Amino acid sequence: MTLKISVDTDSSTAPYEQLRAGIAEQARSGVLPVGYKLPTVRGLAEQLGLAANTVAKAYKALEADGVIETRGRHGTFVAAAGDAAARRLAAAAAAFAREAHRLGASRDEARAASEDALRAVYEA
């Protein structure tokens, strides 16, 4: 199995974001299984014709999202992202609830604001 990803340099989406989104989607869909070893930053940069800093930026964002993990000199691997993503989602929801409460919003007002925000993102 190899990482199958391409970057469209003519796209309005930044190359690092295309790379980040592509790897994240393949990891979440199971195309890249947990534990899959990703190419080195330098190796993937050469393969895609990108600057090493571009790949490093994508890897850093993926690591922050819990999609990949770096194991020191052993390399970079697809992480068990579900657990990390679930924890981050719960933390974001808790932060929203605390802020809504602090602003004096009722439960129904907070729920409506949340639904509006979700609709704006998911139906865009």
Write down the pLDDT at residue 85.
67
Write down the pLDDT at residue 87.
67
Write down the pLDDT at residue 98.
93
Residues 6+ apart with CB under 8 A from 31: 4, 25
pTM above 0.75, yes or no: no
Write down the pLDDT at residue 66.
86
Residue ranges, the chain, pLDDT below 50: none
Write down the pLDDT at residue 2.
76
Write down the pLDDT at residue 81.
58
